[in-house]
Chain A
Amino acid sequence: MDRSASFSTAMLALAACQSAPPAAPARAPQMDSNRLAIALKEILRDDVIDHPEDRELKGAPPKADVASTLTLSFTAPPPSERALSADPAWSALQSAVERIAEQARTYEALARRAAEAAESGGEALRLLQDDVRAARDEQQELFTGLLQSGLLSPEEFGEAIVRIGSEDLDPQRVFEQAFRAKVAALESHAAALERNDRIVTVRAVLKPRGGTPQLLQVPDYYEKSDDELADDRRRARTAEFDALALEFAASRKLAAAIEELRAKHGSVMEALRESWVRVCADVRAWSKDLEQRARELRERLEGALAQRPESARELSETERAVWADLTALAADFEALRELLREIEALRDEPSFAALERLARETRELVRRVCEDGEESWSARIARLRANVPRMLEQQLAEPLRASVVALRETLERDLEALRGELREQLPSTSQALEALAGLGAFGRDVDIVDDGVLVPQPIDSLPEARLDLRDNPVGDGDTLRLEVKVWDRATFESQDERRTPLESYSYTSELIRTGWRWSGDVIFTRALDGANDDHFTANAAVSREYHWFSRKRPDTWFNRLDPGIGFHAAQLNMDPDTTTEIGVGLNASLWSGLVRAGIGYDISIDADQEYWYFGFGLIGALERLDELRSSTFGDGD
């Protein structure tokens, strides 16, 4: 696998991805009479007065307006053919309707043959009479069967016959109507039984441009018990700026990485790999001795732990505290050794997934080794210092006493020394791992924040699912997925994690709006004059642009280009003597900010202040990078 694809190659691929048509919904609803029928509608601004751009949609809108309300209305399916065909009455009545129509045709044919046969006599007449007998036998068999099975009572038969005769009605129509009414009644009954066992769930999954996916409140379907819609509105106001702050911070990280890359004329991935190699080398330098000590300490602790009485009732409170602290420390030693082993094992084949896990594990270890708190090493060592001598004052049998004495010496010497060295080394390793993993953190599939209650609804009385995006913490570029699932009630209530729905529908839309949008960008700036006019420098910027989107003709080339015009503030580095430089200026973009260019003015320096730049919105670009990652740096698992 080629793990060193150049950055320019990646950017070309990004542009190709951006121009691709939007993906179709994961599963569009089918016009199948046995499936739940779903009508999706997007309503603009007001849900009372129709807006000219309100629209009913056949599938998910590729782009949905953040100021709209999405509604899902449902029509329950009729009972399945399979369920009904298992009912002999339903089959018999369906068959009766068909046979009556067939017999009517036979009746007409025999009547036409009668005149000719009477004249011809002989064989023709005999054949006619045979056919008449056969037709009557079949008719008699049909009605006798219906009467005997109770599908047609003698009274119903008599009333129908009298109506046919007295009102001069078409018998085929009379009996068809009667049987169809019975069929409909059976279907209705079967449907009632079947619907009683079918429930429907609806979820709205919001994947923000930056941050953790979350479930939005969908009245009647997904409720947050201690959460009002007003809370969602408040979150909506802050979500946009939270996302921007995240994007800008990430832009700064990436710009710094790119600058390092530029200095080395290498690729981003090469720079990342080199950083990783440095982390591995640092860890290797200090880990050999520490690993040895951690192993020895663990063995000693386990030696003492092996002497612990099995029954906790025999232990004093002091003893219980000692054993608990020793057990926790032994586990941490093992975690440390495991961490060092993992870093060593991954040295040649790093992956973002593994880096994220390592960063998380190291962060936890740092918290316990370096920080304060009940579970910290400092607290445990202090408790052991106090409790071990007290324990030795008690009557302890050999070899337990010998183990505890050895432990006391270990505490004084080795454990404290190990802690001191770890406090020096672990935080910097943790930060390095965090930085490496952080660059790959966007666009990852992470657990959805599920802080509400899924409310299943019976399929025969489904309320409309209504999601007013104005009341939710949504923003431009977020992705919204509406999920509708039909469940067998028993399956749903089983809470089995492997349970699967009977039917599943998904509508995914990118959220957009005509209006102002924030963006955190990585930009490549170049001065118009002076010493910096011959090269580009990677920097981070925040831009605000006005974008237009035509809802009437969503597939136009203009919408695909998604142009924007606005202004920006950039963090620059045009003068090495100035520590903090801010540039402001105008900019324009295409493809939702994937490609952006601008001109500006460095307000922090005194000469050669004008610059121009090109760049890209970070989150959109990273989402595309994420798609390409498996062919560049590897995706771990």
Chain B
Amino acid sequence: MAESLPPLTLAALLQALANPSFTAYAYIGGEKDRGWSIAKAAEKMIPNVRVYRIAPSEASAARSEFGASPSIVGIVFGFGLDVTDKLNAKAAEDALRVFNAIWDSDN
């Protein structure tokens, strides 16, 4: 089930990302963003991926944690905390680009 920060905390997010049964995709942006819709669809379609939305208010802390520049709005994780890809706004709104990044995140 897609979750958001807040109410989820960054610490809780890190704990969830550590689950080796799932890969993950974190989207930084608003709830009505096209990128977030794509992320939610990815969780419905792609096996064992969890998606998280990081509200703009939490974006700075999250970007620091995951080493992402301010232009990055999508962070792709493999099994565990390893970041496998980072997407800018344009890429995060491209469904095929997002899906390819998640499909490739399990290696």
Contacts and interface: CB of A to CB of B under 8 A. Distances in A.
Contacts, number: 92
Interface in A102-126: 103, 106-107, 110-111, 113-115, 117-118, 121, 125
A139 B46 contact: yes
Nearest to A162: B37
A106 B22 CA distance: 15
A110 B48 contact: yes
Given A128-B21, A136-B103, A111 B47 contact: yes
Contact of B47 (A106, A157, A162): A106
Contacts of A129: 20-21, 79, 106
Contacts of B95: 154, 157-158, 161-162
B11 interface: no
Interface in B53-100: 79, 94-96, 99-100
A165 B20 contact: no
A544 B81 CA distance: 103
Contact of A137 (B37, B48, B103): B103
Contacts of B37: 161-162, 164-166
Which has the most chain A C-beta neighbours within 10 Å: B19, B20, B45, B100? B45
A6 interface: no
A567 interface: no
A140 interface: yes
Contacts of B48: 110-111, 114, 128, 132
B103 A164 contact: no
Contacts of A147: 96
A147 B94 CA distance: 14
A110 B40 CA distance: 18
A551 B104 CA distance: 74
Contacts of B5: none
Contacts of A157: 95-96
Nearest to B44: A171
B45 A171 contact: yes
Contacts of A190: none
B47 A165 contact: no
A390 interface: no
Contacts of A121: 20
Contact of A135 (B32, B47, B96, B107): B47
A121 B46 CA distance: 22
Interface residues of A, number: 34
Nearest to A161: B95
Given A136-B106, A157-B95, A158-B96, A125 B47 contact: no
Interface string A385-411: 000000000000000000000000000
Contact of B41 (A135, A154, A165): A165
Contacts of A125: 20-21
A146 B55 CA distance: 35
Nearest to B2: A165
A164 B44 contact: yes
Contact of A171 (B34, B41, B47, B103): B41
Contacts of B22: 114
B52 interface: no
B38 interface: yes
A166 B23 CA distance: 22
Contact of B20 (A106, A110, A118): A118
A7 interface: no
B20 A107 contact: no
Contacts of B47: 103, 106-107, 110-111, 132, 135-136, 139
Contacts of B102: 136
Which has the most chain B C-beta neighbours within 10 Å: A113, A117, A133, A139? A133
A154 B96 CA distance: 7
A492 interface: no
A114 B21 contact: yes
Contacts of B100: 140
A143 interface: yes
A615 B37 CA distance: 91
Contacts of A118: 19-21
B39 interface: yes
Contacts of A111: 47-48
A46 to B, nearest CB: 60
Interface of A: 103, 106-107, 110-111, 113-115, 117-118, 121, 125, 128-129, 132-133, 135-137, 139-140, 143, 147, 154, 157-158, 161-162, 164-166, 168, 170-171
17 contacts: A103-B47, A107-B46, A107-B47, A111-B47, A121-B20, A125-B21, A129-B20, A132-B48, A132-B106, A136-B46, A136-B47, A136-B106, A162-B37, A164-B41, A165-B37, A165-B38, A165-B40
Given A129-B79, A158-B38, A164-B37, 6 more contacts: A121-B20, A161-B38, A164-B40, A164-B44, A165-B42, A166-B32
The 3 closest A-B pairs by CB, nearest first: A165-B37, A114-B21, A165-B41
